[in-house]
Structure 1
Amino acid sequence: MTEQDRSNLVELQRIDLKILAAQQRIREFDPLLDEVEQPALVLESDAEKTRARLKELNLEERQLELSVTEKRERQKKLDERSGSVRNLREEAAVSAELEMVKRALQNDEQEALSILDQIRRMEGRLEELDEAITEARAFVGPRLEELRSGRDTAEKELDAMEQDRENFVDAMDAVELRLYEGIRRGGRVTAVAALTEDGACSHCFGIVPPQLQNEVRHGKALIRCEGCGVILTVTEHGDELAGVMEA
């Protein structure tokens, strides 16, 4: 492995860690947006439920109107019929049915009045909710815009980083890249670590055998830490890797 190859691995890890940091920044916007938007969302949910219930009540009221109209027509016909009955038995039957229709009509009319009262109160509640939503949206609007703008900027920066990475790996050695990707595929953040001056892996701090230390410093092969499996690079890259971890 040439010195350029070592530098490439360090730089790739730098890019990947910056990408991870950018992804984390983007994720952090979601709870902030939820927190700012929550009061308005609660009001909107309440308004949506109120509208749904209002729609149901209006349907019930229309059905009752039809029922009241039908019963009034039936009452009118029975009143007319009661004037032309031919015997007591027929009169009793008409009177019984008429009384039943009157009671049912009275019940429907009372229920219709109750529903109309509910509709009026619910329409007032909905008007209050809509006003509260407008106020809440106006109050949190600037902060929401700020957060959304920040997230959009972070997403664009992430896209640029991912494009830079794609361009960078195109010029890397395929074998080294496969090894690097294989290490990170296991869920690790760190795939490359510096060999410290006293011969330890700077990732797990395990002592590297002298022969492997020599290979890392002077050899051409890719050497991995026997303790944690990261690719070891020379001490001279330690400052670069430390800078990556702090970024």
Structure 2
Amino acid sequence: MENTVAQKIEALSKVQQIDSELDAIRKLRGDLPEEVQDLEDEIVGFETRIENLKKDLGEVEANIDQYRGKIQDFKKRITYLEEQQMNVRNNREFDAITKEMEMLDLDIQVAQKKIRDNEAEETIKRERVTDTNERLEERRKDLTTKKAELDEIMAESEVDEQKLLKQREKATKHLDERLLRSYTKIRDNSSNGLAVVSVKRGACGGCFNTVPPQRQADIREKKKLIVCEHCGRVLTDVEIIEEAEPTPKRRSTRGRKATTKKK
């Protein structure tokens, strides 16, 4: 059986009331959930950075080993050529061997420079690993502290929050999906989380713009959903402020002359 407009309005008001109570509970947590999430993301970033630095370090160390191996090969070749130089038959062979040895000596110098460059890079990366590890440990300590604070706050409000969530689930069953989506959209766009409000003193309880008398009458009838033409919030009721009756003024006797009876 489809709910009447009045029932939908009542359900909307109930959902809004529950959501406002949930907002109040979550407000107690402040920025802690976001801070915890930010710290967790930062820690993942540091861990990824350390992993990449260690990978780079491995490549640098491999380069150093490679150049050292080349230097050993060059030196072995020079030793061999020195032996060959002792057995040359003419100056031409001697000059050719000498030239090759000079080239090998230059290759050794280039390899040594490459080693120095890689060792300098290795030092920088190791310092970065150390620095990043220190910052990582600091963030982990911060995360532990923040999580403890958040867990304590959540433990205090968890029972009430779960109770409200069950009530909300029950209340939303009286709303069709399209109406619930519209409610959620209005609420998300509202700075105070209010999507359903009453008319107070002739004005919308959300944006405080005046609601015409005819629309107020339509709201009271509850025959159709009425929204504020300025902010789009659902208007569910009109609060009537009764004015107190004026207190009768006492007649003043100041300035009156007392009358006496003549004898």
TM-score normalised by length of structure 1? 0.65
User: Could you say if the C-alpha distance between residues 237 and 9 of structure 1 is closer, same or farther in structure 2, counting changes exceeding 3 Å?
Assistant: farther
Q: Structure 1: how far apart are the matches of 2:175 and 2:67?
A: 80
1:39-188 counterparts in 2 under 5 A? 50-109=53-112, 111-112=114-115, 115-116=118-119, 119=122, 121=123, 125=127, 128-129=130-131, 132-133=134-135, 136=138, 139-140=141-142, 142-147=144-149, 149=151, 161-170=164-173, 172=174, 174=176, 178-179=178-179, 181-186=181-186, 187-188=189-190
Q: Structure 1: how far apart are the matches of 2:5 and 2:74?
A: 98
The alignment status of 1:192 with 2:203, answered yes or no, reads no
User: Could you say if the C-alpha distance between residues 34 and 7 of structure 1 is closer, same or farther in structure 2, counting changes exceeding 3 Å?
Assistant: closer
Q: Which moved more, 1:47-56 or 1:73-82?
A: 47-56
What's 1:14 paired with?
17
Identity in percent: 22
Q: Which moved more, 1:16-25 or 1:97-106?
A: 16-25
Unaligned 5+ segments in structure 1 are 239-247
* CA displacement at 1:68 relative to structure 2: 0.9
Q: Which moved more, 1:93-102 or 1:32-41?
A: 32-41
Give the letter aligned to residue 199 of structure 2. Answer: L
Q: Which moved more, 1:67-76 or 1:180-189?
A: 180-189
* CA displacement at 1:85 relative to structure 2: 1.6
User: Could you say if the C-alpha distance between residues 76 and 152 of structure 1 is closer, same or farther in structure 2, counting changes exceeding 3 Å?
Assistant: farther
User: Could you say if the C-alpha distance between residues 50 and 116 of structure 1 is closer, same or farther in structure 2, counting changes exceeding 3 Å?
Assistant: same
What's 1:227 paired with?
229
What's 1:242 paired with?
none
SS in 2 for 1:195: strand
Which structure dedicates a bigger proportion of its chain to helix?
Answer: 1
Report Cα offsets for 1:95-143 as digits up to 9, x if no partner: 2212221332244346536645764x45873685477357635753541
Report Cα offsets for 1:179-231 as digits up to 9, x if no partner: 464354353543322233x54433344444444434433x3402514633433
SS in 2 for 1:221: coil
Match of 2:219 among 216, 219, 224: 216
Q: Is the 8 A contact 1:36 1:143 kept in 2?
A: no
Highest CA radius of gyration, 1 or 2?
Answer: 2
Q: Which moved more, 1:146-155 or 1:88-97?
A: 146-155
Report Cα offsets for 1:13-44 as digits up to 9, x if no partner: 12233455667777833553478689988976
Q: Structure 2: how far apart are the matches of 1:207 and 1:134?
A: 55
Give the letter aligned to residue 108 of structure 2. Answer: L
Give the letter aligned to residue 82 of structure 2. Answer: D
SS in 2 for 1:85: coil
Q: Is the 8 A contact 2:39 2:143 kept in 1?
A: no
Give the letter aligned to residue 132 of structure 1. Answer: E
How much is the aligned-residue C-alpha RMSD, in angstroms?
4.5
SS in 2 for 1:84: coil
Q: Is the 8 A contact 1:222 1:232 kept in 2?
A: no
What's 1:245 paired with?
none
Q: Structure 2: how far apart are the matches of 1:85 and 1:35?
A: 74
Q: Structure 2: how far apart are the matches of 1:164 and 1:202?
A: 24
User: Could you say if the C-alpha distance between residues 49 and 161 of structure 1 is closer, same or farther in structure 2, counting changes exceeding 3 Å?
Assistant: same
User: Could you say if the C-alpha distance between residues 49 and 3 of structure 1 is closer, same or farther in structure 2, counting changes exceeding 3 Å?
Assistant: closer
